[in-house]
Chains A and B, each alone.
Chain A
Amino acid sequence: MDWGILAGAICTIAVWTYLADHQNPIWELIQHIYIGLAYGWSIGYYWHTYIWPTFTGNKDSLAAGQWVYIIPIIAGLLVYTRYIPSIAWVARYPLSLALGWGAGYVLGFTPAVFIGQLTNSFYDLWTDSVSGTINNWILLLTLLGTVMYFFFTIRRDANPVMKGGVWLGRWAIMVALGAAFGNTVLYRYNLFYARMHYILGDWLHLAGG
């Protein structure tokens, strides 16, 4: 008897009881265990991966002379002032810092990707093959239509070009979303299949392969 597999199978079935009743005691028990485990694991993970090495690690730590780390440590500790009503406002400063850093990070790291997308949109509309030419025309027109769909300062019925472009863009988006929908549903079936294989094969030995 593999107790690990047994535990996994029981947990799986316990989670599936949600389908029968959204507030049954088995589901609630497994849910609380799961969230508790997640909390415990996270605390252990952050302690061993970030907090303790920051103080005592051989390099990139306070013990190794990286005193500059005191600044983010203090900023992090200031977040906890929100639990002291009289100085709760102090917490807004490190949070503002985090928000500003996040926005700056996005601005700094996104353009390289964006330029690649832009230059990859320069299609050759007269290729050696008929299918290649048709493909590129479809790609260009649907791309331009989709960009037009996301113009927010021009009324969509402002002129026939805009109207037609937005119509084409909407269809292109819907076709793309439909394809993505089917793809993701198929992937979810794969996950379900893997779980059934675990229950019927690994645990009950009713299915092989």
Chain B
Amino acid sequence: MGFLSLLAAEAKSPVWGIFVPGQAGAFIAVLIFAILVYVMINRARAGQAVREIHKIAGLEALEEAVGRATEMGRPVHYTMGLPGITDPQTIASFPVLGHVAKTCARYDTRLINTVPDVVVYAINEEIIRQAYLEAGRPDAFNPDDVRFITDWQFAYVAGVLEILAAEKPAAQILFGGPFFAEAMIFIEAGALAGAIQVGGTASTSQLPFFVAGCDYALIGEEIYAASAYISKEPILTGTVVGEDFYKFLLFAVIILGTLVATFSSNNFLATFLKS
């Protein structure tokens, strides 16, 4: 949809070579967002007071899942569904993968990561390698546990089912996305393997299955806040705080736009934003 909008917009001549007519509202919205995030990141970096991110239910289950796998001496399986490097859910999953990998390294628990995308596969391997290094256990990192299976959706599913049946992980983490029809199959196979399951995605079509099938589920934007909450990294924390301020702003704009739509026949606010 966004792609099509941009294609349509490309037919118009850009102003000053960069500003596309019809995208002014989007440009201003992104600019405000960028300023808010920039200011909040700088505040967080400088150690100045920024609002604290409250505890996200289900997030601490990641520790519990790895702990359980450690106690049982069985591996943890981590999947991002059908990730793509241009998907924000995939990008949000990277810090969480790093956190889980570091926890696994600390507890000397095996982490198996299956991937159906070659670029994400290479990135994941680097993230996990780095996490083991940071945990002081570079020797424990096994590249064979980061597995590219295939980029065919259901062939990937077949491969993961085999891994779940053979390796019997004590914990399965389905985090990021996008997830499609494979999600419920993974959750079912994970349950059969006796794994505790923590899920998190913004893929609305699969969220119901996460909520119904996983022991703990993070829904929608919670996955973006999760990495900030876990890591306490100033950049991530500042971003989430900036996002929250932006949501306040949107909240106000929605109420204002609704009042205008109710009491005026000319919704100038909508017209301006679409300009």
Q: Which residues of A contact B (CB under 8 A)?
A: 18, 22-23, 28, 31, 34-35, 37-39, 41-42, 79, 82, 91-92, 95, 98-99, 101-103, 105-116, 118-119, 121-126, 140, 143-144, 147-148, 150-156, 173-174, 177-178, 180-181, 184, 188
For B166, give the chain A residue with the smallest CB separation.
Answer: A23
- Contact B150–A35 (Cβ < 8 Å): yes
Cβ–Cβ < 8 Å partners of A110 in chain B = 2, 88
Question: How far, in angstroms, from A123 to B270 measured CA to CA in the complex?
Answer: 11
For B94, give the chain A residue with the smallest CB separation.
Answer: A99
In chain B, residues 203-258, which have Cβ atoms closer than 8 Å to a Cβ of chain A?
Answer: 204-205, 207-209, 211-212, 219-222, 225, 229, 240-241, 243-244, 247-248, 250-251, 253-255, 257-258
B1 contacts the other chain (CB 8 A) = yes
Known: A38-B150, A95-B122. A181 touches B208 (CB 8 A): yes
In chain B, residues 15-73, which have Cβ atoms closer than 8 Å to a Cβ of chain A?
Answer: 23, 25-27, 29-30, 51-54, 56
- Contact A92–B126 (Cβ < 8 Å): yes
Question: Chain B nearest CB: distance from A33 CB in Å?
Answer: 10
Cβ–Cβ < 8 Å partners of B247 in chain A = 147, 150-151
Cβ–Cβ < 8 Å partners of B6 in chain A = 108-109, 112
Question: Chain A nearest CB: distance from B79 CB in Å?
Answer: 16
- Contact B5–A113 (Cβ < 8 Å): yes
For B226, give the chain A residue with the smallest CB separation.
Answer: A152
Most buried by B among A18, A35, A101, A119: A119
For B5, give the chain A residue with the smallest CB separation.
Answer: A112
What 10 A-B pairs are tightest by C-beta distance, nearest first? A122-B257, A181-B208, A38-B155, A38-B152, A153-B51, A111-B26, A102-B85, A38-B150, A22-B165, A112-B5
Question: How far, in angstroms, from A140 to B257 measured CA to CA in the complex?
Answer: 11
- Contact B244–A152 (Cβ < 8 Å): yes
Query: Pick the contact of B54 from A28, A79, A140, A154 — CB < 8 Å?
Result: A154
For B248, give the chain A residue with the smallest CB separation.
Answer: A151
- Contact A105–B86 (Cβ < 8 Å): yes
Q: How many A-B residue pairs have CB under 8 A?
A: 186
Q: Which residues of B contact A (CB under 8 A)?
A: 1-3, 5-6, 9, 23, 25-27, 29-30, 51-54, 56, 84-88, 90-91, 119, 122-123, 125-126, 149-152, 154-156, 158-159, 161-162, 165-166, 181, 189, 192, 204-205, 207-209, 211-212, 219-222, 225, 229, 240-241, 243-244, 247-248, 250-251, 253-255, 257-258, 260-262, 267, 269-270, 273-274
Question: Chain B nearest CB: distance from A130 CB in Å?
Answer: 15
Question: How far, in angstroms, from A177 to B206 measured CA to CA in the complex?
Answer: 9
Question: How far, in angstroms, from A144 to B241 measured CA to CA in the complex?
Answer: 19
Question: How far, in angstroms, from A92 to B273 measured CA to CA in the complex?
Answer: 40
Question: Chain A nearest CB: distance from B241 CB in Å?
Answer: 6
Question: How far, in angstroms, from A91 to B123 measured CA to CA in the complex?
Answer: 10
Known: A82-B125, A122-B261. A109 touches B2 (CB 8 A): yes
- Contact A180–B85 (Cβ < 8 Å): no
Known: A114-B26, A119-B257, A119-B270. A34 touches B158 (CB 8 A): yes
